[in-house]
Amino acid sequence: MSARELTRQQLDPAGTAGTRALTTTLAIGAVGYALVMTVVFRHEISNPLLAVMALVMLALSCFLLIVASSSYRAPFTRGMHYIIQVGVLAAIALEAGGQWTPNALVTNDWGPLCLGVVIIALSPYRPARELASAAVVSAIFIGFLTLLRAEQLVSHTPAFAFVAVAVTPMLALCFGACVFSSGLVRSIEKWQRRALVATQNLTRELREGIARSVQQDRVTILNRDVVPFFSEVLARERITDEDRDRARSIADSIRSVMVAEFDRSWLENLIELTGGVGSDDPGAVEVVVDPDRVAPAMTTDQRTAVRALLVAMIDFPGFDRGDLRIRLSRSGPGCHGRVTAKLNITDHALRSALAPYFAVMRAVFADFQIDFAQPTLTLRFSYEQQ
């Protein structure tokens, strides 16, 4: 599994899911601005075909941005970022070719500003350094195009002044987005460190209470079964064959309970505590199939994500408790998980209700896949052993 990147989407996937509306608005706004500028300054277009191709290329890049920013396709990859940025740069080059005319002004070009808007839309999904580096490379490319067009521009201002005018708005937007995103990422990391320290302190405080609770459970079992048996034996002052059989039965019962509790994983305890199986079912063991005992190999973040998703599914109105199945297995150094459940809802309702949980799962698990063939929901994921 690849390491988590320092992006808002990776560190706070549930919170970043809410920014997709802004991403969509910025992407549509960039296309709309380019279209308006093309119509307003259509008299400067020398090659209408290239101008139309520029708009199409920009629209395709923005469409990819909207699709890739979906929680169902998280995390947003470096490759997708480069594809989108190269697409916008291609649109800028086509726009320059379409306006290759002596009457052109560099301030009328929509390309650099649209690129800046696209990078702002990308900022929640990619690291700030990566965006800043891409912005610098893009500025060099735009500057080169501007120098090539310098003789065609109507003003006699030095060519490097046109370069500054062309790239400054784009760089301002890009670096502004990078600084904001970097600061937000540092704030999230700081909060997570504080939360981790608080959790560790709370765990230490609760450990004694948990130990006393477990001890009390053992004492309760002894008071319920063992103490009455010993009292009866002492009262009779003799031991019969029936007493021996009863003692053996009590010992086997207590031993089986203790062994079952020791072998039960956190995942099986979760299913039992949340009522993931019906009252007529034999128990959580039938729901969780983990022959290699790899549930404890999940990290704290992975356990939290699985726990939140399962609780949300179990509490969902369309959830069928009798059909939940969780299977974990080991394959070499990695582990694989498969969750199946029946949800009597539509695909749109499923995506709307569980999108934040799926976003978190994608952030902490490698190869997280969703398959919903109504009414069966199948989730697949993998993770490395700790």
pLDDT(316) > 80: no
β-pairing, 376-384 vs 334-342, is antiparallel
pLDDT band, residue 85 (cuts 50/70/90)? very high
pLDDT at position 157 is: 66
pLDDT at position 282 is: 45
* pLDDT one-digit tens code per residue, 166-196: 889 899 999 999 999 888 888 888 877 777 7
Average pLDDT, the chain: 80
| N-term to C-term CA, the chain | 12
Share of the chain above pLDDT 70, in %: 79
CB-side neighbour CA atoms (13 Å) of 265: 21
* pLDDT one-digit tens code per residue, 100-159: 766 556 567 898 999 999 999 999 999 999 999 999 999 999 988 888 877 766 566 677
pLDDT(377) > 50: yes
pLDDT at position 217 is: 60
Cβ proximity of 131 and 174 under 8 Å: yes
Name the residue among 352, 348, 351, 341 with its Cα closest to residue 375: 341
pLDDT at position 299 is: 83
Most confident of 186-195, 227-236, 295-304: 295-304
Name the residue among 159, 139, 125 with its Cα closest to residue 22: 125
pTM of the model: 0.69
Report CA torsion sign: 349, 354, 355, 358: negative
Segment 2-29 mean pLDDT? 81
Angle, helices 111-122/128-148, rounded to nearest 10 degrees: 170
Any residues with CB less than 8 A from the CB of 219 and at least 6 apart, and which? none
* pLDDT one-digit tens code per residue, 247-279: 777 776 666 655 555 556 677 777 776 655 444
More confident residue, 216 or 74: 74
pLDDT band, residue 285 (cuts 50/70/90)? very low
pLDDT at position 80 is: 93
* pLDDT one-digit tens code per residue, 357-368: 888 888 788 788
